[in-house]
Amino acid sequence: MWFSSNTYFKLPNEIQIREIKNISKLIDLPRNLFHEYKVLAVIIIIIFAGRSSFLDWNHVSTGSMRPAIIEGDRVVIEKSAYDFALPFTSWKIIKTGNPSRGEIVIFKKHDNSQLLIKRIVGLPGETIEIVNNKVRVNKVQANYKPLKKKLFNHLDLYTITKNEFALEVFEDSEHPIMLQKESEHASSSAIRANIPEGYYFVLGDNRNSSIDSRNIGLIPREQVFGRAKLVAFSLDYSNFYIPREDRFFKALN
Query: What CATH number should be reported for the domain holding residue 111?
Result: 2.10.109.10
**Strand, coil or helix: 50:** helix
User: What is the reported pLDDT for 131?
Assistant: 92
Into how many domains does the chain fold? Answer: 1
Maximum separation of any 2 CA atoms in the chain, in Å? 114
**What pLDDT is stored for residue 132 in this prediction?**
87
Q: What is the pLDDT of residue 9?
A: 45
| Cα–Cα distance for residue pair 195/182, rounded to 1 Å | 30
Range name among 35-44, 104-113, 118-127, 156-165 with the lowest pLDDT average: 35-44
pLDDT category at 123 given cuts 50, 70, 90 is very high
Has residue 203 been placed in a domain? Answer: yes
Instruction: Look at 86-100, 110-124, 140-154, 180-194 and tell me which has the smallest mean pLDDT.
Output: 180-194
Local confidence band at 37 (pLDDT 50, 70, 90 cut-offs): low
pLDDT band (50, 70, 90) for residue 57:
confident
pLDDT of residue 109: 84
Confidence of residue 84 (pLDDT cuts 50, 70, 90): confident
The range of the structural domain enclosing residue 179 comes to 54-251
More confident residue, 40 or 157: 157
Of residues 88 and 108, the one with the higher pLDDT is 108
Task: Read off the pLDDT band of 93 (50, 70, 90).
Answer: confident
Identify the pLDDT of residue 14: 56
Strand ranges, E, within the chain: 55-59, 73-78, 83-85, 92-95, 104-108, 115-122, 127-131, 134-137, 140-141, 143-146, 163-169, 174-180, 191-194, 199-203, 219-220, 224-236, 242-243, 250-251
Residues ≥6 apart with Cβ < 8 Å to 236: 72, 242, 243, 244
pLDDT for 11 equals 47
> Could you please report the per-residue DSSP string of 220-248?
EGGGEEEEEEEEEEEEETTTTTEEPGGGT
For residues 188-208, give the mean pLDDT. 93
CA distance 123 to 195: 7
Backbone region of residue 111 per phi and psi (left: phi > 0; alpha: psi in -120 to 50; beta: other values)? alpha
Residue that wins the pLDDT comparison between 36 and 106? 106
Mean pLDDT over 232-245 rounds to 94
Q: Can you tell me the mean pLDDT for 20-31? A: 54
Domain assignment present for 25: no
Q: Residue 143: which of 175, 168, 114 has the closest Cα?
A: 168
What residues contact residue 187 under an 8 Å CB cut-off, 6+ apart? none
Mean pLDDT of the chain: 84
